[in-house]
Chains A and B, each alone.
Chain A
Amino acid sequence: MTAISGEQKKSSRLKEKTLDGYNFAYLDDQTKRMIRRATLKAVAIPGYQVPFGSREMPLPFGWGTGGIQVTASIIGIDDTLKVIDQGADDTTNAVNIRRFFAKTAGVETTENTSDASIIQTRHRIPEAKLKSDQIIVYQVPIPEPLRWIEPREEETRKMHALTEYGVMHVGLYENIAHFGKVTTSYNYPVQVNDHYVMSPSPIPKFDNPKMDEMPALQLFGAGREKRIYAVPPYTKVKSLDFEDHPFEIESWSECCALCGSSSSFLDEVITDDKGSRMFVCSDSNFCANRRAKGHKGPGLPRKFEIKDIE
């Protein structure tokens, strides 16, 4: 075994693994500096949307360009990256983004939440509790939570500055008036640090409580709308609600068919064309880890048979 220093190891890994003719993590240094400045400002003002000069990325808006630019600006050679899409590491989008950083930054990648130092995500927060040495980067399609009711940017900026957030409750009121309860289940609005109302990106409201007082730094990047915002570690994040209709998360009467978990976010999966279905963890890494530890679920529902009703 040859003894080489950490620095040597790093630079040789860089040479070996990254693509020639590209900057480390694709973006040029000037762009990264600009994005880091925006990110620092975002961390200093929890929940406030900081404009930044979003760059062309080698994939179209809507495919996570905001999250990718944030990740590219904060990632270092020692980082270990995890990318999830809808909770899974193996979807096309997640695989592509992971490969992009493996190629352009030569970083280690992982599917294991606790091994990652940076987690880029679309649509979920992992089930495993994040730690203070981790950063989670959310891909955000629409950063402005007030946009649905107020199309004028100048006005929404004033509303944020003056915490004029009555209209957010107008949205919840409408839900209850029309459906008897708040039906918003994704991108459920939150108030950060008792001031800025923030769009948490299209995660299920199930994940909202995880944002509250989270030890990890949370960064949000919106590529098309050119906004970065952040929730610093251990910051209050409150889901908006009414006194008589308090915020509630989804619950399931079933547990995960594969690992038996009854505390995770479950996806419904149709297993054949006869209507058989099962519920499984949306966080595939969480589920796999539980199964590796020997946890078992009830498995597939037993096929419905005629003799059952005889």
Chain B
Amino acid sequence: MTNVLLSAKNLSHHYGSQVGCIDINFDIYPGEVLGVVGESGSGKTTLLKNISGLLQPSSGSVKFDTRVDGLKDIYLLSEPERRLLMRTDWGIVFQNARDGLRMNVSAGANVGERLMAIGARNYGDIRNEATDWLQNVEIGLERIDHYPETFSGGMLQRLQIARNLVTKPRLVFMDEPTSGLDVSVQARLLDLIRGLVSQLGIACIIVSHDLGVMRLLSNRLIVMHQGRVVEQGLTDQVLDDPQHPYTQLLVSSILPV
């Protein structure tokens, strides 16, 4: 049996008296795509920040299978260790692509940055990798020296994905990667994410309020409601045979009448 990649235990987060998420438990394995679904305000983003090192939870633990020491609590790592993890083994794709990109440097530099951050010092090699990755995310090579400012929403999101995947992380966190995009653009982006993730064998935790996205991308699903996990299981099982009344409501609300 393979090792757990990331494990959340009894995770809770409060913003003062406001509840972010409560008592979350789950494991994710290498290469697996885990979906987190729930309506707006249900605590998905809070959970994602908690487990990706961006926001220390009020209580509970987040452990990651580090290359050197195995499963370690990410908040007990030193800051340099955690930052290194974030730019090597992890990728974070933000809901708003502008939060995850450098808007004042070219597309090529956005993709190359993580390579340079881990020590790449050969311009030609960096350029070639950037070229490959722009191709992988279907951005025309004539755009390699253009600034992200000139890109459409779908392109920005694809650029953000290339920027994260270029160092072949073992785990990628994505917060609503397709929201705010036109439906046709969404479909193309979902296809792309699905292809890349399965091709590279990257584990992925994807947050969305859209069950259609989950059906397409995730192997396993966590359903959140008012900060808590109300149901989790294989995506098809959860969607085809929901057990919790809230999940039943969610599923029935997207079914054609």
Contact = CB atoms under 8 A, between A and B. Distances in A.
A308 interface: no
Contact of B109 (A158, A174, A245): A174
A174 B105 contact: yes
Interface in B115-144: 116-118, 120-124, 126-127, 144
Interface string A169-181: 1101110111000
A167 B106 contact: no
B38 interface: no
B108 interface: yes
Contact of A162 (B80, B112, B122, B126): B80
Interface in A119-146: none
Contacts of A28: none
Name B's interface SS.
helix
A15 B127 CA distance: 65
Interface string A144-180: 0000010000000010001010110110111011100
B100 to A, nearest CB: 15
A170 B122 CA distance: 12
B69 interface: no
Given A244-B123, A245-B123, A173 B116 contact: yes
Given A149-B102, A149-B104, A177-B145, A166 B117 contact: yes
Given A169-B121, A243-B121, A164 B106 contact: no
A242 interface: yes
A149 B104 CA distance: 8
Interface in A215-264: 242-245
A177 B83 contact: no
Given A158-B79, A164-B83, A173 B108 contact: yes
Given A162-B80, A245-B123, A173 B112 contact: yes
Nearest to A178: B145
B102 A170 contact: yes
Nearest to A162: B80
A174 B121 contact: no
B175 interface: no
Contacts of A245: 123
Nearest to A163: B80
Kindly state the interface size class of chain A when it binds its partner: 10 to 19
B207 to A, nearest CB: 25
Contacts of A167: 113, 116-117
A193 B21 CA distance: 47
Contact of B106 (A149, A172, A178, A244): A178
A238 to B, nearest CB: 12
A171 to B, nearest CB: 8
Contacts of A170: 102, 105, 109, 112-113, 116
Interface string B56-89: 0000000000000000000000011001000000
Contact of B122 (A149, A166, A242): A242
Contacts of A162: 79-80, 83
A176 B83 CA distance: 28
Contact of A164 (B102, B109, B117, B145): B117
Contact of A166 (B105, B118, B123): B118
Contacts of B124: 244
Contacts of A149: 102, 104-105
Contacts of B144: 177
Given A177-B145, A242-B121, A244-B123, A166 B113 contact: yes
Contacts of B104: 149
B117 A177 contact: no
Interface string B145-169: 1000000000000000000000000
- Which among B112, B120, B123, B144 has the highest number of chain A CB atoms within 10 Å? B123
Contacts of B120: 169
Contacts of A178: 106, 145
A178 B120 CA distance: 19
A169 B83 contact: no
A176 B123 contact: yes
Interface of B: 79-80, 83, 102, 104-106, 108-109, 112-114, 116-118, 120-124, 126-127, 144-145
Given A158-B79, A162-B79, 10 more contacts: A166-B113, A169-B120, A170-B112, A173-B112, A173-B116, A177-B106, A177-B144, A243-B122, A244-B123, A245-B123
Interface of A: 149, 158, 162, 164, 166-167, 169-170, 172-174, 176-178, 242-245
17 contacts: A149-B104, A149-B105, A158-B83, A162-B80, A166-B114, A167-B117, A170-B116, A173-B108, A173-B112, A173-B116, A173-B123, A174-B106, A177-B109, A177-B127, A177-B145, A242-B123, A244-B124
Give 10 nearest A-B pairs by CB, closest first. A166-B117, A166-B116, A242-B123, A169-B116, A243-B122, A162-B80, A170-B109, A173-B109, A177-B145, A244-B124
